[in-house]
């Protein structure tokens, strides 16, 4: 099962080389480029983790901000008491538990209930956390003081992204990944060939949620003061959906193609058109639906196939059979 | 007791946005995530008419409702019908319409922010005290409730006593069969979508008379409408109305007795209960 | 021959419409049972009840003695029930091999990797699609897609195979090939329930058949008996296939 084809080995080596190169970035720049690269890597992690679930199942999750917020808060709560790596893992577990609850409640029914539920989930958790904080804490926020610099966070997120990629790759080659593909193609057929669709969806949603939670946890040191509105910002969920769909979710590496340009775009928008981010996001969704339903990777793959098809067309015609 | 009455008054206005969405999802099969924006835009429009031109919101209805009708008709024709035509199955259509109406949500929200800014808006209209069952309530709430009742009744008459309305119910029940008996399903869907938008806008207009709103509230209204529609049983008008009242009462109760910051939590609690124990809603039929 | 499947007093209603009304029958191991009746008589509903797509309101269905009615469809599939659908349902973005693998991966045989691909090749050859493993099913003709669906059902090595009007829409030569294929599969020992309208197929393939009308079983027996029975002819009056 771990046998890799020569092209896959070449890809893996290239990937490791790219990773190593990216890791050296903080040595060259400590300001703007590091910050924006951090954002890119953050969203790369979030979007790839999101696609692990939403790609094969076609269920649009808007719970990303809820999971990452839970990760951030887990760290903020425990930062004075527990070691950081443990808190990151804990953040992942908390997010996975939430994913399990949400999944169990909504994934046994149709996809639309899932989308609706996750739409307000972030706001819901924000409200609850705010209430709990004001009732049991002195203020609505928590202080997070660490020795971590932006470079440290960058490296952590880079490592996490690599781990998510590895997981995605392993899943696609596995029976689990195949079962998920079948579910995405035709859920009724999936059930009739013996696939426990409900359980698979929930498990996958939990894996995806865990990674997102860990990303949020790693992000906590970036704020010195963690507050519910910034930790549980629904905008994160929407941006992740756009970037992932823009890149294309048919391949688990698709979202990466959407993350890089869109992160840069949003950064420019926040500088030059700060009040119009909603409009940009709205237009982005519309472009995705009408012009790029399979994302950029889908569109590129279509063009690729059409370029190769004329050859196949000619070959078949020469052999005298219908293509 | 006060809580119940206030809750019912609030629920009555929620009912209109839920009825609007029921038409849009039940007949046109569009899960319109932008419905909260139609609602909110109506709030702003009513506000603007009142503060700039001293137009009574109830006269405002006569302007806003047709405007919303035309706007939603255009949205269906140019934005949504192409998706309906190209979708290979229902699941694909659902995803496409969710994304498209989502885009619309943000677009409208952005435009509202640009035009009106991010501040909270409200205006005083019929704010005198009105006595009901021994307690004082704002007259505006009571009148808004009565108006909502009238509009809902008018909708009922339309759906159950006119040809167009019956045709719509036929499309909602079974679009394929409706087509076979000669109903122009596409036209009915567009009509239902437009009508749904108009009714939602009426709800927004009425709510603006007693509610404080800001440009980013659209999503919250959408979520409430979605949850009400699902609770009531998708496509069922009576269910939506009842569920709206239940939500209004629950929300008011939680806000008064526990914490006004937990309104969404109460909504979600109800939603989760419905999903776990009766996913087809109060009046819905289990779709196999 | 022991009973592969028994259905006892099955009832299923949709609102006011009773689709299956107090139906009993038994399918013996290795048998090819025909399930016929005019349109709307409840045949497909009956298959849906067996495969778990629907749950009966009353009655019990047992596979090799153990109860399957009321279980979720995926569990019933794992116990050995496989089917084709009235409107063919192939997995649209996948190729032929992957479609067949879907049947083998989780249910019945739980195969993966090289042995699974070998099985897929064998089954595709059986249904007449040799060498077409890597063709996208979306590019195939309707009848080839039907064959893929059949191969997928067989991939699970089912105890009982449910065919929902699998021979519908075929021209005479395709029909002959299709009938031969089903006969071959049955001769290998496969228990089959066949819902059909094509009476030639029923006459050729089935020793025994059951007739439904408006949800009730109106006749059961050998094909000649059943097709000459007055109540069956009357049920089909107005139907062109009788």
Q: What is the mean pLDDT of chain A?
A: 85
Residue C81's pLDDT is 93
Kindly state the DSSP code that residue B138 receives in the 8-state scheme. E
Kindly give the interhelix angle for C96-105 and C142-155, rounded to the nearest 10 degrees.
30
Residue A64's pLDDT is 96
Select the residue from B176, B283, B284, B288 to test the C interface by mutation, using most C Cβ atoms within 10 A: B288
The Cα of C199 is separated from the nearest Cα of chain B by a number of Å equal to 29
Whether residue C111 lies inside any domain: the answer is: yes
Q: What is the ipTM of this complex?
A: 0.89
Residue A66's pLDDT is 95
Are C36 and C43 in contact by the 8 Å Cβ rule? The answer is yes
Q: What is the pTM of this model?
A: 0.84
Residue A175's pLDDT is 86
Provide the residue count of chain A: 323
Write out the residue range of the structural domain in which residue A75 sits.
Answer: 6-236
Tell me the C-alpha distance between C92 and C98, whole Å.
11
Q: In the predicted model, is pLDDT for residue A1 greater than 50?
A: no
pLDDT tens, A46-62?
999 999 998 888 889 99
Print burial letters for A22-45: b (CB count within 10 Å at least 16), e (below 16). beebbeeeeeeebeebbbbbbbbb
Give the pairing type, strands C208-213 and C32-36. Answer: parallel
Residue B276's pLDDT is 79
Tell me the C-alpha distance between B25 and B89, whole Å.
16
Which chain B positions have a beta carbon within 8 Å of A62's beta carbon? Answer: none
Higher confidence at residue A314 or residue A275?
A275
Instruction: Work out the average pLDDT over A232-245.
Output: 92
Count: domains in chain C: 1
Residue A311's pLDDT is 56
Instruction: Work out the average pLDDT over A91-109.
Output: 91
Residues 53-92 of C with CB under 8 A from B: 53-54
Count: domains in chain A: 1
Q: In the predicted model, is pLDDT for residue B20 greater than 80?
A: yes
Whether residue C121 lies inside any domain: the answer is: yes
Contact residues for A45 (Cβ-Cβ < 8 A; gap 6+)? A157, A160, A161, A164, A211, A212, A215
Residues 207-236 of A with CB under 8 A from B: 234
Question: Which residue does chain B place closest to C56, by CA atoms?
Answer: B288
CA distances from B262 to A62, A117, A129, B32, B66 (A): 20, 16, 10, 25, 35
Contact check, Cβ <8 Å, A283/B103: yes
Are C44 and C114 in contact by the 8 Å Cβ rule? The answer is no
- A273 inside 8 A of chain B by CB: no
Tell me the C-alpha distance between B87 and A233, whole Å.
32
Residue A316's pLDDT is 45
Whether residue C26 lies inside any domain: the answer is: no
Tell me the C-alpha distance between C10 and C16, whole Å.
16
List the single range of A196-200, A302-306, B218-222, C106-110 with lowest mean pLDDT.
C106-110
Residue B183's pLDDT is 80
CATH code of the domain covering residue C224: 3.40.50.300
* Proportion of chain B above pLDDT 90, given as a percent: 17
Whether residue C116 lies inside any domain: the answer is: yes
Residue B128's pLDDT band (boundaries 50, 70, 90)? low
Query: In whole angstroms, how large is the CA radius of gyration of chain A?
Result: 21
Residue A189's pLDDT is 93
CA distances from A132 to A68, A99, A138, A213 (A): 18, 21, 11, 20
- A105 inside 8 A of chain B by CB: yes
Print burial letters for A109-120: b (CB count within 10 Å at least 16), e (below 16). bbbbbbbbbbbb
pLDDT tens, B32-83?
999 999 999 999 998 888 888 888 878 888 889 999 999 999 999 998 888 8
Q: Is C28 helix (H, G, I), strand (E, B) or coil?
A: strand
Highest mean pLDDT: which of A290-294, A315-319, B180-184?
A290-294
Are B11 and B248 in contact by the 8 Å Cβ rule? The answer is yes
Give the pairing type, strands C81-83 and C160-164. Answer: parallel
* Proportion of chain B above pLDDT 70, given as a percent: 94
Q: Is C241 helix (H, G, I), strand (E, B) or coil?
A: coil
DSSP code per residue over B76-136: IIIIIHHHHHH-SSHHHHHHHHHHHHHHHHHHHHHHHHHHH-SS-B---SS-SEEEETTEE
Contact check, Cβ <8 Å, C54/B285: no
Residue B287's pLDDT is 45
Give the pairing type, strands A142-143 and C17-28. Answer: unpaired
Whether residue A138 lies inside any domain: the answer is: yes
Instruction: Report the residue from C94, C106, C112 with minimal CB separation from A194.
Output: C106
Residue A321's pLDDT band (boundaries 50, 70, 90)? very low
Q: What is the mean pLDDT of chain B?
A: 84
Which chain C positions have a beta carbon within 8 Å of B285's beta carbon? Answer: 15
- B285 inside 8 A of chain C by CB: yes
Instruction: Work out the average pLDDT over B196-217.
Output: 88
DSSP code per residue over C57-86: SEEEEEETTEE-TTS-HHHHHHTTEEE--S
Kindly give the interhelix angle for A111-136 and B263-277, rounded to the nearest 10 degrees.
140
In this complex, the chains that touch A, judged by 3 or more CB pairs closer than 8 A, are B, C
Whether residue C66 lies inside any domain: the answer is: no
Which chain A positions have a beta carbon within 8 Å of C101's beta carbon? Answer: 178
- Residue by residue, what is the 3-state secondary structure of A13-64? HHHHHHHHHHHCHHHHCCCHHHHHHHHHHHHHHHHHHHHHHHHHHCCCCCCH
In this complex, the chains that touch C, judged by 3 or more CB pairs closer than 8 A, are A, B
Whether residue C127 lies inside any domain: the answer is: yes
Contact check, Cβ <8 Å, A194/C156: yes
Closest CA to A90 of A110, A112, A72: A72
Contact check, Cβ <8 Å, B285/C53: no
Q: Is C29 helix (H, G, I), strand (E, B) or coil?
A: coil
Select the residue from B36, B264, B277, B280 to test the A interface by mutation, using most A Cβ atoms within 10 A: B264
List the single range of A101-110, A193-202, B126-135, C202-211 with lowest mean pLDDT.
B126-135
Question: Which residue does chain C place closest to A187, by CA atoms?
Answer: C91
Number of CB pairs, chain A paired with chain C, less than 8 A apart:
64
Please name every residue paired with C195 in a beta bridge, in sequence order, or none if there are none: C35, C164
Kindly give the interhelix angle for B90-116 and A111-136, rounded to the nearest 10 degrees.
40
Kindly state the DSSP code that residue B75 receives in the 8-state scheme. I
Residue A318's pLDDT is 47
pLDDT tens, A116-130?
889 889 888 988 888
Whether residue C207 lies inside any domain: the answer is: yes
Instruction: Work out the average pLDDT over A121-149.
Output: 81
Contact check, Cβ <8 Å, A189/C102: yes
Q: In the predicted model, is pLDDT for residue A292 greater than 80?
A: yes
Whether residue C46 lies inside any domain: the answer is: yes
Write out the residue range of the structural domain in which residue C196 sits.
Answer: 31-55+72-236
Residue B149's pLDDT band (boundaries 50, 70, 90)? confident
Residue C83's pLDDT is 94
Spell out the per-residue pLDDT of chain C, length 242, in tens. 567 899 999 999 887 888 899 999 999 999 999 999 888 888 999 999 999 999 999 999 999 889 999 899 999 999 999 999 988 999 988 999 999 999 988 876 788 888 888 999 999 999 988 888 888 898 898 889 999 999 999 999 999 999 999 998 888 888 998 999 999 999 998 999 999 988 888 889 998 999 998 888 888 988 888 888 888 888 887 555 54
* Proportion of chain A above pLDDT 90, given as a percent: 32
Per-residue tokens: B189: 């869907």
Q: In the predicted model, is pLDDT for residue B148 greater than 70?
A: yes
* Proportion of chain A above pLDDT 70, given as a percent: 93
Domain B2-277 class in CATH: mainly alpha
Kindly give the interhelix angle for A32-57 and A175-185, rounded to the nearest 10 degrees.
70
Whether residue A120 lies inside any domain: the answer is: yes
């Amino acid at each position: 099962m771990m046998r890799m084809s020569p092209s896959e080995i070449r890809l893996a080596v290239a990937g490791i080389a790219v990773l190593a190169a990216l890791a050296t970035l903080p040595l060259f720049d400590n300001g703007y480029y590091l910050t924006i690269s951090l954002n890119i890597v953050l969203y790369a992690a979030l979007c790839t983790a999101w696609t692990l679930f939403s790609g094969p199942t076609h269920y649009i999750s808007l719970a990303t901000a809820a999971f990452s917020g839970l990760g951030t808060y887990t760290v903020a709560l425990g930062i004075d008491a527990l070691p950081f790596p443990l808190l990151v893992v804990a953040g992942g577990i908390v997010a996975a538990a939430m994913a399990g609850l949400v999944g169990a409640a909504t994934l046994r029914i149709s996809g639309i209930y899932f989308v609706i539920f996750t739409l307000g989930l972030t706001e819901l958790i924000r409200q609850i956390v705010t209430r709990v904080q004001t009732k049991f804490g002195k203020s609505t926020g928590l202080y997070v003081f660490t020795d971590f610099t932006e470079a440290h966070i960058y490296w952590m997120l880079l490592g996490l992204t690599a781990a998510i990629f590895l997981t995605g790759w392993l899943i696609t080659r596995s029976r689990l990944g195949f079962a998920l593909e079948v579910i995405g193609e035709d859920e009724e057929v999936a059930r009739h060939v013996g696939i426990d669709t409900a359980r698979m969806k929930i498990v996958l949603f939990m894996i995806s949620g865990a990674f997102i939670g860990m990303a949020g946890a790693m992000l906590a040191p970036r704020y010195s003061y963690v507050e519910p509105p910034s930790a549980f910002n629904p905008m994160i969920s929407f941006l992740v959906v756009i970037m992932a769909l823009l890149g294309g979710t048919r391949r688990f590496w698709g979202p990466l193609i959407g993350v890089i340009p869109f992160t840069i775009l949003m950064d420019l928008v926040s500088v030059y058109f700060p009040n119009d981010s909603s409009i940009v996001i709205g237009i982005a969704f519309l472009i995705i639906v009408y012009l790029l339903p399979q994302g950029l990777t889908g569109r590129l793959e279509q063009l690729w196939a059409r370029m190769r098809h004329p050859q196949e067309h000619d070959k078949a015609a020469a052999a005298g059979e219908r293509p | 007791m006060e809580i119940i009455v206030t809750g019912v008054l609030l629920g009555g206005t929620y009912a209109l946005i839920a009825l609007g969405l029921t038409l849009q999802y039940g007949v046109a099969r569009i899960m319109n995530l932008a419905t909260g924006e139609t609602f909110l835009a109506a709030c702003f429009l009513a506000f603007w008419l009142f503060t700039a031109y001293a137009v009574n919101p109830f006269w405002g209805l006569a302007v806003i409702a047709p405007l919303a009708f035309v706007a939603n008709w255009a949205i269906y024709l140019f934005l949504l019908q192409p998706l309906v035509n190209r979708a290979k199955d229902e699941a694909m259509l659902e995803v496409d319409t969710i994304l498209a109406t989502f885009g619309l949500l943000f677009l409208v929200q952005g435009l509202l922010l640009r035009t009106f800014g991010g501040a909270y808006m409200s205006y005083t209209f019929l704010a005198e005290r009105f006595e009901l069952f021994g307690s004082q309530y704002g007259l505006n709430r009571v009148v808004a409730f009565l108006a909502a009742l009238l509009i809902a009744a008018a909708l009922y008459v339309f759906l159950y006593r006119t040809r167009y309305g019956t045709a719509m119910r036929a499309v909602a029940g079974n679009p394929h069969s409706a087509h076979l008996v000669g109903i122009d399903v596409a036209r009915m869907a567009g009509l239902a979508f437009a009508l749904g938008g108009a009714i939602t806008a009426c709800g927004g207009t009425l709510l603006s008379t007693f509610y404080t709103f800001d440009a980013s509230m659209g999503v919250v209204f959408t979520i409430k409408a979605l949850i009400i529609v699902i609770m009531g049983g998708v496509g069922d008008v009576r269910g939506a109305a009842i569920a709206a009242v239940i939500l209004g009462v629950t929300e008011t109760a939680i806000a008064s007795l526990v914490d006004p910051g937990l309104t969404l939590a109460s909504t979600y609690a109800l939603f989760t209960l419905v999903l776990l124990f009766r996913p087809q809603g109060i009046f819905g039929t289990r779709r196999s | 021959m022991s009973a592969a499947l028994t259905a006892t007093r099955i009832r299923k209603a949709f609102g006011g419409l009773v689709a299956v009304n107090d139906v009993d029958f038994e399918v013996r191991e290795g048998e090819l049972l025909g399930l016929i009746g005019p349109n709307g008589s409840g045949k497909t509903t009956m298959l849906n009840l067996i495969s778990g797509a629907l749950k009966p309101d009353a009655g019990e269905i047992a596979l090799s003695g153990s109860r399957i009615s009321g279980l979720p469809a995926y569990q019933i599939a794992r116990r050995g029930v496989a089917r084709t659908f009235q409107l063919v349902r192939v997995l649209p973005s996948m190729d032929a091999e992957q479609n067949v693998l879907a049947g083998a991966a989780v249910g019945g045989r739980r195969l993966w990797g090289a042995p699974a691909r070998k099985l897929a090749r064998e089954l595709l050859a059986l249904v007449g699609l040799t060498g077409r493993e890597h063709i996208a099913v979306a590019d195939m003709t309707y009848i080839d897609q039907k064959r893929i669906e059949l191969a997928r059902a067989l991939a699970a090595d089912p105890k009982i195979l449910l065919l929902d009007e699998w021979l519908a829409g075929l021209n005479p030569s395709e029909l002959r090939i299709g009938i031969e294929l089903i006969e071959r599969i049955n001769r290998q020992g496969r228990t089959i329930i066949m819902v059909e309208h094509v009476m030639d197929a029923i006459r050729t393939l089935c020793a025994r058949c059951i007739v439904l009308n408006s949800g009730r079983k109106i006749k059961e027996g050998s094909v000649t008996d059943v097709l000459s029975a007055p109540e069956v002819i009357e049920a089909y009056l107005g139907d062109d296939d009788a």
